[in-house]
């Protein structure tokens, strides 16, 4: 009942904001996983705060949140969270923000974590957003805009694949909290090895000297629209023009949840949300591993484009 009240209050706040005459922006955060996810939110320095910085979402639960004008920050999912019976301290195996409670209260995600990053009402009045695997990966995440005005590179982005089972052994994070002690997250090469080459630091601190690695290509081949390393801007940054835009942020999205009002999901350079070597389907994953990575076929592009049109009402 409490979760239903929060959802109603969130929708009312969004509605009241829209009556002010200014463009209203909001997030609708949905947990499509088979387990509880605890979203965390961090506002950038100088940005207005959101009405919550951390909470729980049970399976199939959603929460709507108004987004302050000019807001900038990041959002992620925490998993395998619990409260210590002795100390009362709240902590999570992945994505922990170090606050010791459900509210992150200014704490960021401990890597590895899949990040959804936003700058609302940025340069030229555009919204900028991306899904980043630069700090590693812990959950499939999809960001899909709805109701945006025309203009910009306004399309869904994210990583719809469950990469934890497919993660290279030297990047895999295992936990006894996971069934069978399996992988619960996948580190970035920077976190795993700490070298300037992988961290794009020192002599490798610019686009000319920091290039994709075999490890970043693992993420890019699986999730072509997500950031795979620091300078992966060309295919990973998305923009929407002003308007009463709602950004649907879904953890563990199904392949039927791809929808962006007024924009084709294939608009961003004909990039697919998934490739033909790994496919994520709700709670199930089908992994067809190949000896070498291969780019998505033109046939797959066509199939995905048709599927997006057929499934256009999935998130409405």
Question: What domains are there in the chain, each with its CATH number?
Answer: 2-310 (2.60.110.10)
Q: What mean pLDDT is predicted for residues 189-217?
A: 92
Is residue 199's pLDDT more than 80?
A: yes
- What confidence score (pLDDT) does residue 234 get? 83
pLDDT band at residue 110 under the 50/70/90 scheme: very high
Q: Which residue has the higher pLDDT, 269 or 140?
A: 140
CA separation for the pair 156, 247 (Å, rounded): 9
Degrees to nearest 5, angle at CA 58 with 107 and 78 = 25
- What confidence score (pLDDT) does residue 125 get? 87
CA separation for the pair 239, 152 (Å, rounded): 5
Is residue 264's pLDDT more than 70?
A: no
- Side-chain-facing half-sphere of 153: CA atoms under 13 Å: 17
Q: Of 15-24, 84-93, 225-234, 253-262, give the lowest mean pLDDT range.
A: 15-24
Those residues with Cβ within 8 angstroms of residue 225's Cβ, 6 or more apart along the chain or in another chain: 131, 156, 157, 158, 159, 235, 236, 238, 268, 271, 273
Percentage above 70 pLDDT, the chain? 70
> Are the C-beta atoms of residues 33 and 252 closer than 8 Å to each other?
yes
pLDDT band at residue 54 under the 50/70/90 scheme: very high
pLDDT band at residue 150 under the 50/70/90 scheme: low
The whole model's pTM is what? Answer: 0.76
Q: What is the mean pLDDT of the chain?
A: 78
CA separation for the pair 102, 97 (Å, rounded): 9
In tens, the pLDDT along 63-105 reads 999 999 999 999 999 999 999 999 999 999 999 999 999 999 9
- What confidence score (pLDDT) does residue 269 get? 38
> Quick count: other Cβ atoms within 10 Å of Cβ 14?
20
């Amino acid at each position: 009942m409490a979760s239903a009240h929060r959802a109603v209050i969130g929708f009312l706040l969004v509605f009241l904001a829209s009556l002010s005459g200014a463009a209203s922006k909001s997030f609708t955060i949905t947990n499509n996983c088979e387990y509880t996810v605890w979203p965390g939110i961090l506002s950038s320095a100088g940005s207005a705060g959101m009405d919550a910085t951390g909470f729980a979402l049970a399976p199939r639960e959603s929460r709507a949140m108004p987004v302050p004008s000019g807001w900038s920050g990041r959002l992620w999912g925490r998993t395998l969270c619990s409260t210590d019976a002795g100390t009362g301290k709240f902590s999570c195996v992945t994505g922990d923000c170090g606050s010791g409670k459900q509210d992150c209260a200014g704490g960021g995600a401990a890597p590895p974590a899949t990040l959804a990053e936003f700058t609302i009402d940025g340069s030229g009045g555009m919204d900028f957003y991306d899904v980043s695997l630069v700090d590693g990966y812990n959950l499939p995440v999809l960001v899909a805009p709805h109701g945006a005005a025309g203009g910009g590179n306004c399309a869904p982005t994210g990583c719809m694949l469950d990469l934890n089972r497919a993660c290279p052994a030297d990047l895999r994070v295992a936990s006894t909290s996971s069934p069978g002690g399996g992988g619960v997250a996948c580190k970035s090469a920077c976190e795993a090895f700490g070298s300037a080459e992988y961290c794009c630091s020192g002599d490798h601190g610019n686009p000319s000297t920091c290039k994709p690695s075999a490890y970043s290509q693992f993420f890019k081949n699986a999730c072509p629209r997500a950031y795979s390393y620091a300078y992966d801007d060309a295919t990973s940054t998305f923009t929407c023009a002003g308007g009463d835009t709602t950004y649907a942020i879904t953890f563990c999205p199904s392949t039927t949840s791809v929808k962006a009002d007024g924009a084709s999901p294939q608009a961003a350079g004909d990039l697919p949300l998934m490739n033909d070597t790994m496919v994520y389907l709700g709670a199930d994953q089908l992994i067809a591993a190949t000896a070498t990575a291969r780019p998505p076929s033109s046939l797959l592009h066509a199939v995905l484009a048709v599927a997006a049109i057929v499934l256009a009402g999935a998130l409405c």
